[in-house]
Chains A and B, each alone.
Chain A
Amino acid sequence: MEARYRKTLLLKDTGALDRTKEFFNLFLERLREEGLQEEVQVVRAGDLGMYGYGLVVKILPDEYTYVNVEAKDVPKIVQTSLKKSNPVQDLLYTPREKQMRVVLKNCGEVDPESVDDYILHGGYGALKKVLTEFTPEQVIDELKTSGLRGRGGGGFPTWMKWNFARKVEAAEKYIICNGDEGDPGAYMDRSVLEGDPHAVLEGMIIAGYTVGASKGFLYIRAEYPLAIERIQRAIAQAQDYGLLGGNILGTEFQFDLEIRLGAGAFVCGEETALIASVEGKRGYPSPRPPYPSVKGLWGMPTVINNVETLANIPVIFDRGGAWFSGIGSQTAKGTKVFALTGKVKNSGLIEVPMGITLREIVYEIGGGLSEGKKLKAVQTGGPSGGVIPDKFLDTPVDYEHLMELGSIMGSGGMIVIDEEDCMVDIAKFYLNFCVDEACGKCSPGRIGTFQMRNYLQKISSGQAGEDDLDKLEAICRATKKAALCGLGQTAPNPTLSTLRFFREEYLEHIRERRCRAGKCIDLLRYKIKQEKCKRCGVCAMHCPVNAISGSREEGYRIDVEKCVKCGQCFEVCKFDAVTRE
């Protein structure tokens, strides 16, 4: 089929002024002058994901990208790259793709409801290779070479976990996919389950073959109905095609999968609590040892892997363990999917090689913060993690570096925090979550989290004394050491981390009863600046509790005792006379 246009020119102004339309017309005019208007289409782009590069131009199919284009460059571009097909060297920019889509390679490409589309894109090729060319020991070796570590937050070497289970002699073994992603703001696993369900299935079948299991379960939280639907469909399709069930791909191997739904408990993302839940019991964690790979579901060897870990498996066998270990850093191989959210321009799901810095992630991939906003910190690891302040933004993202700074990689939540966020408030937010989700079995977890939140509430409402900070830290220490499971052991992390790097904010809340970010409502004080007040009385009209009194002659004042800090006066004053501090 002949193309309608020989070349396409995309343009977008990525600077402060939006001159996109202007340049659109400039190019159209020039092309008309050269008689090329039927051969080249000029298109205004929506957003090219580049910022601060002035006027950006992209030429297709040659794939030339030009930045900081000026009006005077237009004729040169038309002549050199549109009439002919050569690049304009001094305007040329080679975009370095920071992301590397390995786990997410099929998300956005493959129709998740079609097993045919998955196969078309190379799916189940890895399974075929493993079943016909690898022994279980060889699979372990390849995984060892790859260096894959658990992506759910634990970072445990995957080959080791599989190997423990493989070596135990037992009547039954199980593979479980942990799809109970519970960290607030994290949706990596959801996207993989919804966008590329077959990759997860393929990873589980390979795991089953390696370990000697014939049954697997996908434990998916009930709050992910679309993921559940797509996995269910994928399982049925795989069964139809002989990719699950007996004689998989015509070999002797048999393996089948079932879904088990979560029931609204974050703690059931913890391995032993997950097992209890699948067994129909109360989702309480159990002491380890024994570890699930030796004694897990119904007392049998069980491999529990995170969704992302499993989605890495087919790629490793398609491209080889050596290829995989070539990506990433010394201690952390491969890529990691992050859910980049918060005060960043481009929030979304990103996949980057391990070892990339936070700065690259926030500014080059995320597009930085909105105009005029200043970065304060980046939160990683969800309710188990901590904050990395701006001064450490060049930290490489891998397991060890983040732990040194008091945070963790976690499952991939990454939240960008700016100057308008209060660190005490953030710690309180995560503790609220932990108090809500604590299972209640162990005293440090049950009472420790509750008391920690109690003190954070006191601090954020200006009712704390200075020794309350010591008490808070004592509880954090005890809970970290004596809680039964990871939920309790890591619940103090956001508090400890924010105290480590932003202690002044805590002290301000306590000593001065002031929240510099303006987030802690009880510490907010609304005042009317008399110099700016035009005495119009609009604020008083809008106050729901009649806390503002005054007159045209005397001016207006807010009664601090009556004020409920709703912020109405602040919103309606046209003269910026109401301040909030």
Chain B
Amino acid sequence: MVKAKINDIPVEVKQGTTILDAAKKVHVHIPVLCKHPDLDATAACGICVVKVKGSSKMLRACCTPLETGMEIITHDAELQDVRRTVVELILSNHPNDCLQCARNNNCELQKLAADFGIRQVPYDQFLRNLPEDDSTKTITLVPDKCILCGRCVDVCQNHQDVWALSFLERGIKTRISPAGDINLGESPCIRCGQCSAHCPTGAIAEHDDTRKVWQALYNQEKYCVVQIAPAVRVAIGEAFGFKDGENLTGKLYAALRRLGFRAVFDTSFGADLTVMEEASEFVQRFTHKKGKLPLITTCCPSWVDFMEKFYPDMIEHFSSAKSPHEMVGVLSKTYYAKQQNVDPEKMFMVSVMPCTSKKYEISRSNEMFSSGYQDIDVSLTTREIARMIKQAGIDFENLPEEESDHILGEYTGAGVIFGATGGVMEAALRTAHYFVTGKNVARVEFESVRGLKGVKETTVEIQGAPIRIAIAHGIGNVEYVLNKIREALAAGKEPPYHFVEVMACPGGCVGGGGQPYGVTDKLRTARAQGLYSDDENREIQYAHDNPYIKELYKKFLDAPLSEKAHELLHTKYKPRPTYKK
């Protein structure tokens, strides 16, 4: 243990604790800007400087370990002066358009300037006048607002392993861009949005699609329907002052109806459906030996994009099932439209997702048009729907609880846990067990697949047969799993796993790129807990027991993996180049 003093307050911490973390223990808050709680310190901004008594040098608190006997001063006249000057320097190089910025009221630089009481920047203002990049129509880069903290590069390179973003040039000309100075759309970017989730300012924001949705909602000709993803319900509360992870499903349904949607569905229903299709696929491959093992989940479009770009040799391992929201989308314009006697041409389907990548998914291939129309017209992020609710004058906090349109909205516990890493696997295993044995598994929870560990490997048994599974979240963790598979297959050995789940975003969809800003591991855990609680409190926890699912098959789809199911609910994949010409 290390014993030292911070502002004359004695503190004792483990060896290796940074001065920043040690200060938190004694309720001293050292201001930071570039440091993110989940990422390693880059030591870039220079705001967290502190002094050691007796020395005139300043150290960075975010990365310097506290040592025995150190007497740290965190606030004095000189430190205040230096920190203020650094903030003023950053502001002298930053656009002054807070009022028109995507991060207005929610920006880390803005907060720092407000806390420091900046009223005037004494230095000449100069902007770099760099062009915006909206080439992906999913994530927009605004380099003039970039403070070069380096978080996005760290996340994209070291955590997501995509390497779409990097630093270009040097000195005052430094900027963040794909290598080779190409558009983001031409780069390997998989649109996971983790860059925007970690960005402290408005330099990286989601492409705003709310206008399209307003236009549709106010168009009398359009029949607007909406679905919400599992992860949205436990994060939307953060925009309205609720507790972390609180489940606001009922209020969400109410809010969406008041916005003007004629039908409110739930992607968790789609998740139940995905379980039916995918568990059947698994049984086919595992029990009946038809098809390649391991089976790899594909509900995450960033993950699918990554596979197609970097590991196209594994395409045969993908599940051909579409993602849950696409399933609900295609069914809304066929099954629902027929039932309700609505002209699908007039329908406008919006999916509210924790995800930026879905904006790209909804038009990426012909299979997303299986209904005869674009199955999903617009995909919005949690952040966008929160803004729409506020704009529409809806008093979200005091709304009554409502229900969804059950036909495509009633869900089981299995469906809602899709939002957490390990959730897809758990849900699929519950149903796979039933398909193989004809009985429901005794204990519904699979603890070993839950939690934030980057790669979770475990073995479960169904009727005595061991099933080896692997769950990875955060694309940086996937390489380990894929290499093990490749090695085994190349050597002609048994595959190390039978079933693999991959989520591109750390934590799974609860940590998605479209969720409210400021995600940390603490928040991911809280949001996931909200989903698991929902699962526990549900009467039905198995996808195959969902009465509306049963009715859907009976009336419309026949059976899982039927011809009809394949036509509407399954898709194809193809290798994609990493750098387009």
Contacts and interface: CB of A to CB of B under 8 A. Distances in A.
A complexed with B: yes
A446 B174 contact: yes
B39 to A, nearest CB: 14
B46 interface: yes
Nearest to B84: A478
Interface string B82-114: 110110011011000000000000000000000
Contact of A440 (B46, B64, B65, B148): B148
Interface string B63-80: 111000000000000100
B41 interface: yes
Chain B residues touching A, range: 35 or more
Contact of A447 (B42, B43, B172): B172
A233 interface: no
Nearest to B166: A282
A370 interface: no
Interface stretch (A48-56, A135-143, A152-160, A448-456): A448-456
Contacts of B93: 447, 450
Given A447-B172, A482-B86, A441 B148 contact: yes
A477 B81 contact: yes
Interface in A438-474: 438-444, 446-451, 454, 471, 474
Given A444-B86, A447-B89, A471-B122, A437 B171 contact: yes
Instruction: Give the residue among B44, B78, B148 with the most A Cβ atoms within 10 A.
Output: B44
Contact of A442 (B43, B64, B92, B123): B43
A394 to B, nearest CB: 28
A580 interface: no
B170 interface: yes
A475 interface: yes
Contact of A482 (B46, B92, B171, B173): B46
Contacts of B81: 474, 477-478
B60 to A, nearest CB: 6
B45 to A, nearest CB: 5
Given A482-B46, A484-B46, A443 B64 contact: no
Contacts of A481: 49, 57-58, 78, 82
A440 B82 contact: no
Contact of A441 (B42, B78, B89, B122): B42
A439 B42 CA distance: 14
A446 B172 contact: yes
B58 to A, nearest CB: 5
A30 B579 CA distance: 88
Contact of A443 (B89, B122, B170): B89
Nearest to B169: A440
B49 A286 contact: no
Given A447-B92, A451-B92, A471-B123, A439 B171 contact: yes
B58 A438 contact: no
A287 B41 CA distance: 9
Contacts of B58: 481-482
A436 interface: yes
A483 interface: yes
B147 interface: yes
A289 interface: yes
Interface string A272-296: 0000000000100011010000000
A451 B170 contact: no
Nearest to B60: A287
Contacts of B173: 440
Interface in B164-200: 167, 169-174
A444 B83 CA distance: 10
Contact of A475 (B57, B85, B170): B85
B46 A475 contact: no
B86 A443 contact: yes
Interface of B: 41-47, 49, 57-58, 60, 63-65, 78, 81-83, 85-86, 89-90, 92-93, 122-124, 126, 147-148, 150, 167, 169-174
5 contacts: A287-B41, A435-B171, A443-B47, A443-B148, A484-B44
Given A287-B43, A442-B46, A477-B82, 15 more contacts: A282-B167, A437-B171, A440-B170, A441-B44, A443-B90, A444-B86, A449-B171, A450-B93, A454-B126, A471-B122, A474-B81, A478-B81, A478-B86, A481-B57, A482-B83
